[in-house]
Structure 1
Amino acid sequence: MPEEQQDTTAGPPVLSVVVYGRDVQGHLAAGLDALAAQASPGVEVIVAAVGASARAAASDRPGVTVVPLPEGTADAAARVAGGERAGGRWLHFVHSKDTVPTGAPRTVGDRVADLGEGVDVLVVDHVRSTWRHQGMPSPDSKHLARQGRRDLPLADCPDLLRVTPLLGNRVLRADFWREHAEHLAGDDETYAAYAALLLADRIAALDQVALNVRELRTESLPTGRPEERFGVIDRHESLLTLAANLGLPPAPRTALYDVMVGDCLRIIAREKLPDAVRKEFFHRASRAAVAWRPEGYQRPGGLEGVRRRILEEDAYTKYRTFQTANQQRRKLRSAVVARKHKVGLKVRDLRYRRDLERPVDPGLAVFTAYWDRGVACNPAAIAAKLAELAPHIHPVWVVTAANVPLLPPGTDHIVPGTPRYWEVMARAKYLVNNVNFPNAIVKRPDAIHVQTHHGTPLKRMGLDQLDYPAASKGLNFHSLLSRVDKWTYSVSANSHSTRMWERAYPSRYESLDYGYPRNDVFYSATATDIRAIRDRLGIAPGKRAILYAPTHRDYEAAWTPRLDLATLAERLGEDTVLLVRGHYFYGGATSPLAGLRKSGRIIDVSSYDPVEDLSLAADALITDYSSIMFDYANLDRPIVIYADDWETYAKTRGVYFDLMTEAPGKVARTQEELTEIFASGAWRDEEAATVRKVFRERFCEYDDGRAAERVVRRVFLGESEESLPPVTPIDERTPAPTPEEATTR
């Protein structure tokens, strides 16, 4: 073809965006959704995916090249693997937890395409996001704007050393990165970020956002030894040594020195370090501040200058006195507020604190469920298995005074707020709950808190509710996180839940991928058990029972059935019984079904517990967005989704996946469609069975009938993970018989 008609996009891409690392707290997939859509002939996306979860998150995305790496691969090694696979002339390294804003790859690609041959680094702007705030601006824009479109040697733009030291806000020329791999490809990303500027011949800037840095909660990250903070000083001294060896002029070396002293003073003032470590850090920082002080260096004025002078004098005691004086007013103000709070709680607090000083009782376990409603859910299943495997541990249930009469005979219990309540809560070794304990409950270092949860999440939970005020309704997220930080273990039924819990509730707890104990009964119940349950419910032999269990709507004040139940019962025929269960949030309301019970074809089971009995008794389930669908799927019986308000629910509550395309069975959007699904037999046809199989494989991953045993052996008996009963593959499990099968056995 003529030269002017040749494809100008041929050849290597201009920019390679290299996403690397494991799928931290489940954030990778969302970031890749946006990034993959921006891939083009000039911009390629490489994902150096560490582990199966990251590979799954990165798979099946057009325009994305996946470099699979084994579990445990370090971030530095993942960056190297991704960089080696990249074909772009420029490399933009992005950690898997971070994201690239829409339009940024094209903007960066256009900018680097215009840069001259001598430019090695493009510094870009970024925003920060936390669990609470999204897209907060960085402090770097003034430095980037000052440089404008010029590309300069570091000697002429030393203030770029004051830009946040992230490898992700430095776009590197690929040949430059490979040439200086000794400094740029190591484990210390902060060192690499500084070294890239020191080593570059020329540097360009772009005062546009090209990176969204997700700052994870410190409490969700592994703890390190306090002495590791000495490495900050070592890093800065190594960088100053590199600058000296490169023969850099005074301006960048002075800027680098300023950064070092500022970092050290921030650590001394703000980080929680043992006093001995803080004192040693101060001494080492003092030596470095004196040894590397540039000739003719002038300290800043004001309090900062005073701090730096004291540091150079190595006067630790003087520094602490200076800091104490500055903080005294704030402390006094805080003390007044704290004193008022303590007066109001004095009597209770003194008693509770006294009990907290007594030894923990290794034979005492506290159980509670659904805000102290009674013996139920996963805690109940764990308590039952505990009585079998560890009878030496005494269980005590927390129950509200109103629910005490409903307890099984002989159940040892405590009522919230009573003297014995505080004594037991203070001394128990084990505390098991399917929600959170109150804020006032102290997590003792040698106590074990087990969070069992009470469902698989379809709707957004925890921190993921921040963008859905109708769902959070003024929830104090700081208090929520302080409760989450008390968890020792988090029980999960499937890897989807594990990822969502780790994202919605980021902290240092250990996930127990054992299945939900409450679902064990779906594999242990016999035909005799099922017949007995149906007899108790009043379901006549030979009748088809359909359980209708809708969930709570955050935008509704009270529960009203979304179906005309009388008409539905009539259309389904005399051989069908509807078991109707309102969500427990409305347990105190007058049931709107009272007038329908007389027909005998509708049974109000809103107050019936346990709900697992209802599932065992039902031939099929109708629900909307309730987590009961995930539990019921263990039985491998038909499920029909009635989703007349899906769009409203999804926008108001927020959801983790599109139920309309990933449902466990047929989906009806109107009552007429629902009726037709049952009338035509589609509720249990081959297509319904096929999608149910996919759903079971995804969400019944660990539920095999031995979840409670695994929890008891691991948590209460201290057995190793390797010695626990392995999870039975789903195609080798045998669920409880159906009601139809139960009548013939």
Structure 2
Amino acid sequence: MPRFSVIVPAYKVQAYLSECLDSVLSQSYPDLELIAVDDCSPDACGAIIDEYAARDTRVRPVHLAANQGLGRARNAGMAEASGDYLVFLDSDDTLTPDALRAIADRLKESGEPDVLVYDYARTYWDGRTVRNQLAAPLTEQGPAPFRLEDRPGLLRVLMVAWNKAYRREFVEENGFGFPPGYYEDTPWTFPVLMTAESIATLDRVCVHYRQRRQGSILGTTSRSHFDLFEQYDRVFGYVEEHPELARWRPELFRRMIDHYATVFTKRGRLPRGSHGEFLCRARAHYRRYRVPGTRMRRRNILVRFGLHRTFRALQLASVVRRRTLKAAVKLARALRTGALRLHYRIQLRLPVRSDRAVFASGAGRGHGGDPGALEEAFRAHAPHVRTAWIARPEHQHTLPPGPRRLRPGTAAYWTALARSRFLVTDDDLDRGLRKRPGQLVIQTRQGTPLKHMGLDLQERPAAARGTDFAGLLRGVDQWDLVLSGNRHSTLVWERVLPGRYDTLEYGSPRNDVFQRATSADVARLRESLGIPEGAVAILYAPTFRDHLRTQRPLLDLERIARRLGPRFVILARPHPTRGGPLGTGTRIIDVAGHPSVQSLCLASDALLTDYSSIMFDYAGLDRPIVVHTEDWEAYAAARGTYFDLRAFPPGAVARSEDELIDIFATGHWRGSRSAQLRAAFRERFCPYDDGRAAERIVRHVVRGETDLPPVVPLAEREPVPSACTHSPLATVPQPSGPLPVTEGR
């Protein structure tokens, strides 16, 4: 008896069927049977199913003699099922990698519930992936399993069959089946959830729900949408047959009326001339199933009265109102823009203030990076200069007390840009900025470059997509000073971003904290992140891959965490601008929204990355680094790199996920060879990161000093140690004999 019976009905989906079947058969949890039902499809679906059955004994083909529709095709699949749990999957959708393993683990954790509800994400033809916006009821906090009355919010999650796993005996005991029709999921899902004695949830995307450009059944114009009335008759008929479920009538009534209003208002659903009839039937159902005292949304009240023309009139009035408001907003914006331009021109005629400095990081993101470290150094070593920080409203909370807060686009913002002596940023300045004589623009950049940057991207179309190189150079022409942490960065920036600026090779201000932090600071950060005491914390920070349309993680963090065991936890940090979730699990801590990368570095015991520039910062901490280079050839070909990371790595090199697990499991991640590689890497890329880089810059640029604090030699630096340095979990026995090749060359 297999653990899962995955039922896939197929009808006129030959272009998508193979991808669907592959997503099931390639699951890391192989204990399954795949029941593929050919619903008498006129295309090649039946032949494709037979080809898969010939290659894999887990595939059980079912061929129907006549087209039955989706619901009855699923019933035919259930009749052949022998697994513990039933999983339905539409033939143009796919299971996400390792979905069945995650489902199996959750079923075991929650005591074999009748139903397990998991999440999904919509995948669009243009490559976008958008997670379900109503995933809040799927949180795994609280007792499990539970009954529906404990979490009635589950009824607001999309009422479909394919986002749940069902215990087969529970389905058979209650005689559940799918009726014919367009909306066959409705009379299946509501009764199943209401009847289940035990329900559990899994807060993980397990299904990719394909949003087709054309061909979606529910998106077509047809009278088949009237099928909705018959399906809700079945739902309420089931409740009448089971009086113990009567308490659900108010919620079912609300869901029904909202469903009717949605179909009625969706353009392209109902044929021309049928809206009045639809609303009339909806009104009849309103009267038939109404529960006195049930609160309704305003738009649904119109269903009660069947006011077809009133509804249309209100819709037209709403459209007119929106267009009028849009025009008014557009006019107001134009007037505001004109007023701000005039204000800026006036400010440009006033003197530059030598005691003013403006800072920004990441085009309006929060306080941090090199600009953040420099802003603190300005206040410490040049207190006569008043500082201001540019941040969008959602990032204002990250600003410390001290700098003045500026919102982009305000009059105060343009005043500061026009009259401040120092303009400090690690990104592009506002395109409307007119740099004046007497102003000093300090460009800090965003780390040491491994991948190609600037003009080098002209030969990399995948990475340079949409880059305005002429605009880039216009911005470079405004720079006066560029900060550099090492000779490598200096040579790259001056070549790929040519300009008249001077380079200050003084170190990276943002890494000063690594030398100043204390063990107490590390302990406090780990506690705030929820890292268990004595655990080894791995910070996973991958880079963005320009050549991929969708950013799919190359590593299965859940599998890695399981293999390494409870002594390890993973801090998952996707790319800050365009990354997505990297994984979930009890030993995976999502730190995507954490405002400070340096704090995450301090809290961790080792860094796991691929080609991210964070490795150059982390090397200054003198803690272990492991690099994952599985797709090095593809990345280097698409983006271009300035040196072969595999030949000069900062630590152990893993060329596959299994090698990576082995490096951490055997202790080679912190072995002597890794330490030797890290020492050479630090010597090349961290020559000035001694904790006083920001001080040297402020003393030279603001105070005009030439006798600057000397750089502390590498051998004399004492960066704060990691929390696991003295932990017994960190002393992993080292294998005898030569180290494996995964340590790097």
Task: State the partner residue of 1:603.
Answer: 589
Match of 2:480, as an amino acid? T
Q: Distance in 2 between matches of 1:473 and 1:569?
A: 36
Residue 365 of structure 1: SS of its match in structure 2? Answer: strand
Offset of residue 741 of structure 1? 4.2
Residue 585 of structure 1: SS of its match in structure 2? Answer: coil
Offset of residue 352 of structure 1? 1.3
Q: Distance in 2 between matches of 1:375 and 1:665?
A: 31
Match of 1:725, as an amino acid? P
Residue 363 of structure 1: SS of its match in structure 2? Answer: strand
1:731 matches 2:688:
no
Alignment CA distance shift 1:735-1:483 (3 Å) = same
Offset of residue 562 of structure 1? 1.6
1:513 matches 2:505:
yes
Residue 694 of structure 2: SS of its match in structure 1? Answer: helix
1:567 matches 2:559:
yes
Contact 1:550 1:624 in 2 (8 A): yes
Task: State the partner residue of 2:424.
Answer: 432
Q: Which of 512, 527, 539 pairs up with 2:519?
A: 527
**Residue correspondences, number:** 395
Matches within 5 A, 1:77-476: 347-408=339-400, 411-476=403-468
Task: State the partner residue of 2:669.
Answer: 683
Contact 2:367 2:398 in 1 (8 A): no
Offset of residue 743 of structure 1? 7.3
Contact 2:440 2:480 in 1 (8 A): yes
Contact 1:400 1:416 in 2 (8 A): yes
1:631 matches 2:617:
yes
Q: Distance in 2 between matches of 1:518 and 1:532?
A: 19
Superimposed CA distance per residue, residues 574-628 of structure 1 (whole angstroms, 9 cap, x where no aligned partner) = 11111110111136x6x353xx24x1x1101111121111111111110000001
The farther-off stretch of 711-720 and 564-573 is 711-720
Offset of residue 409 of structure 1? 5.1
Task: State the partner residue of 2:71.
Answer: none
Alignment CA distance shift 1:742-1:490 (3 Å) = farther
Q: Distance in 2 between matches of 1:351 and 1:483?
A: 23
1:613 matches 2:599:
yes
Q: Distance in 2 between matches of 1:355 and 1:626?
A: 41
Superimposed CA distance per residue, residues 537-594 of structure 1 (whole angstroms, 9 cap, x where no aligned partner) = 111211111111101111234543221111100111111111110111136x6x353x
Alignment CA distance shift 1:540-1:344 (3 Å) = closer
Alignment CA distance shift 1:648-1:344 (3 Å) = farther
Q: Which of 711, 722, 727 pairs up with 2:697?
A: 711
Q: Distance in 2 between matches of 1:378 and 1:742?
A: 31
Contact 2:557 2:582 in 1 (8 A): no
Q: Distance in 1 between matches of 2:456 and 2:676?
A: 31
Superimposed CA distance per residue, residues 478-525 of structure 1 (whole angstroms, 9 cap, x where no aligned partner) = 111110111111111100000001011111111111100000011111
Q: Distance in 2 between matches of 1:349 and 1:654?
A: 41
Residue 586 of structure 1: SS of its match in structure 2? Answer: coil
Offset of residue 403 of structure 1? 2.2
Alignment CA distance shift 1:343-1:526 (3 Å) = closer
Contact 2:366 2:595 in 1 (8 A): no
Structure 2: where are the runs of 5+ without partners?
Answer: 1-333, 729-745
Superimposed CA distance per residue, residues 384-438 of structure 1 (whole angstroms, 9 cap, x where no aligned partner) = 1111111121111111133224434565211111111111110011010011202
Alignment CA distance shift 1:649-1:351 (3 Å) = same
Alignment CA distance shift 1:557-1:584 (3 Å) = farther
1:650 matches 2:642:
no
Q: Distance in 2 between matches of 1:742 and 1:713?
A: 38
Offset of residue 738 of structure 1? 2.1
Superimposed CA distance per residue, residues 22-78 of structure 1 (whole angstroms, 9 cap, x where no aligned partner) = xxxxxxxxxxxxxxxxxxxxxxxxxxxxxxxxxxxxxxxxxxxxxxxxxxxxxxxxx
Q: Distance in 1 between matches of 2:335 and 2:593?
A: 41
Offset of residue 343 of structure 1? 12
Q: Distance in 2 between matches of 1:521 and 1:409?
A: 18
Task: State the partner residue of 2:38.
Answer: none
Contact 2:626 2:650 in 1 (8 A): yes
Offset of residue 346 of structure 1? 5.2
Match of 1:665, as an amino acid? G
Contact 2:535 2:724 in 1 (8 A): no
Task: State the partner residue of 1:230.
Answer: none
Q: Distance in 2 between matches of 1:417 and 1:456?
A: 31
Task: State the partner residue of 1:57.
Answer: none
Q: Distance in 2 between matches of 1:569 and 1:741?
A: 21
Contact 1:437 1:483 in 2 (8 A): yes
Aligned-pair RMSD on alpha carbons? Answer: 2.0
Alignment CA distance shift 1:379-1:742 (3 Å) = farther
1:544 matches 2:536:
yes
Identity of aligned residues (%): 48
Contact 2:359 2:390 in 1 (8 A): yes
Q: Distance in 1 between matches of 2:345 and 2:711?
A: 42
Q: Distance in 2 between matches of 1:539 and 1:348?
A: 48
Residue 359 of structure 2: SS of its match in structure 1? Answer: strand
Under a length normalisation based on structure 2, what TM-score does the superposition of the two structures give?
A: 0.51
Q: Distance in 1 between matches of 2:356 and 2:603?
A: 35
Residue 459 of structure 2: SS of its match in structure 1? Answer: coil
Q: Distance in 1 between matches of 2:407 and 2:549?
A: 28
Contact 2:609 2:615 in 1 (8 A): yes
Residue 538 of structure 2: SS of its match in structure 1? Answer: strand
Task: State the partner residue of 1:228.
Answer: none
Contact 2:523 2:723 in 1 (8 A): yes
Offset of residue 702 of structure 1? 1.4
Superimposed CA distance per residue, residues 247-305 of structure 1 (whole angstroms, 9 cap, x where no aligned partner) = xxxxxxxxxxxxxxxxxxxxxxxxxxxxxxxxxxxxxxxxxxxxxxxxxxxxxxxxxxx
Offset of residue 671 of structure 1? 0.3
Match of 2:600, as an amino acid? L
Q: Distance in 2 between matches of 1:654 and 1:524?
A: 35
Q: Distance in 2 between matches of 1:443 and 1:360?
A: 11
Q: Distance in 2 between matches of 1:742 and 1:415?
A: 46
Under a length normalisation based on structure 1, what TM-score does the superposition of the two structures give?
A: 0.51
Contact 2:347 2:415 in 1 (8 A): yes
Q: Distance in 1 between matches of 2:726 and 2:383?
A: 33
Contact 1:514 1:710 in 2 (8 A): yes
Q: Distance in 1 between matches of 2:380 and 2:712?
A: 22
1:491 matches 2:483:
yes
Superimposed CA distance per residue, residues 680-711 of structure 1 (whole angstroms, 9 cap, x where no aligned partner) = 22111121111111111000011111001011
Residue 739 of structure 1: SS of its match in structure 2? Answer: coil
Task: State the partner residue of 1:110.
Answer: none
Match of 1:645, as an amino acid? D
Offset of residue 641 of structure 1? 0.5
Match of 2:711, as an amino acid? V
Match of 1:435, as an amino acid? D
Q: Distance in 1 between matches of 2:511 and 2:617?
A: 7
Task: State the partner residue of 1:227.
Answer: none
Alignment CA distance shift 1:559-1:463 (3 Å) = same
Residue 430 of structure 1: SS of its match in structure 2? Answer: strand
Residue 497 of structure 1: SS of its match in structure 2? Answer: helix
Q: Distance in 2 between matches of 1:424 and 1:573?
A: 53
Task: State the partner residue of 1:670.
Answer: 656
Q: Distance in 2 between matches of 1:443 and 1:558?
A: 39
The farther-off stretch of 549-558 and 500-509 is 549-558
Superimposed CA distance per residue, residues 358-394 of structure 1 (whole angstroms, 9 cap, x where no aligned partner) = 0001111100001111101011111111111111211
